[in-house]
Amino acid sequence: MKVFYLHGFASSTRSRKAVYLGERFASRGISLRCPDFNEPGFFSLTVTRMLDQLARDIASLDREPVVLIGSSLGAVVAIHTAARLADRIDRLVLLAPAVMFPRDADKVLGADRVAEWRRSGTLDVFHHGDGVTRPLNYAFYEDGLRYDATTAEVSQPARVFQGLRDEAVDHRVVEQWAAPRPNVQLTLLDDDHQLLASLPAIWSEMTAFLKLT
């Protein structure tokens, strides 16, 4: 089994979730693969680039089952990859999946800020992985509109963990996404978008779901 952790927007392979999960998979003899979606540069980031990067990484592996663990935007990349590479992806773990991205940009950023982003072509974003503000091309938003996680056909077993106090991803939207999909099991947690306080509980459920016990 090959396991990938897909970090979220303006995050990194060094995030607390990535480190936590990497250590625990290592204790089971599994190397957690963490693509760096910030490369070759954050400014030119697009969902298409993320999908292509992950597809190349998967293509370079043998035919072992692949598990995708995605956080926020990384979960969206996991959903679309599972739909596109259905014969390679065995199962999914989705953490606070931003299934409405980027159609909720007006709500998340504010309509005025989105309009200014469109006008200027650049948006200043605080990059949590680097701890600094970095510019992001408007192409990120335009490219994101090409993809819709709410209509992607995902047949693999999936576990979803969503915080009830998440201010970035509305738990009601995630509930609506999961409800009609019999292959998806949703767990709602008393936590925020980062889900850091819930990581021990998530890991416990993940080990059973991935048959690591």
Tens digit of pLDDT for each residue in 64-86?
999 999 999 999 999 999 999 99
Cα atoms in the Cβ-side hemisphere of radius 13 Å centred on 136 = 23
d(CA 116, CA 138): 10
For 122, residues 6+ apart whose C-beta sits below 8 A from its C-beta are: 135, 136, 137, 138
pLDDT tens column, 143-188: 999 999 999 999 999 999 999 999 999 999 999 999 999 999 999 9
> Could you tell me the pTM of the whole model?
0.96
Q: Please choose, from the candidates 110, 136, 106, the residue with its C-alpha nearest in 3D space to the C-alpha of residue 121.
A: 136
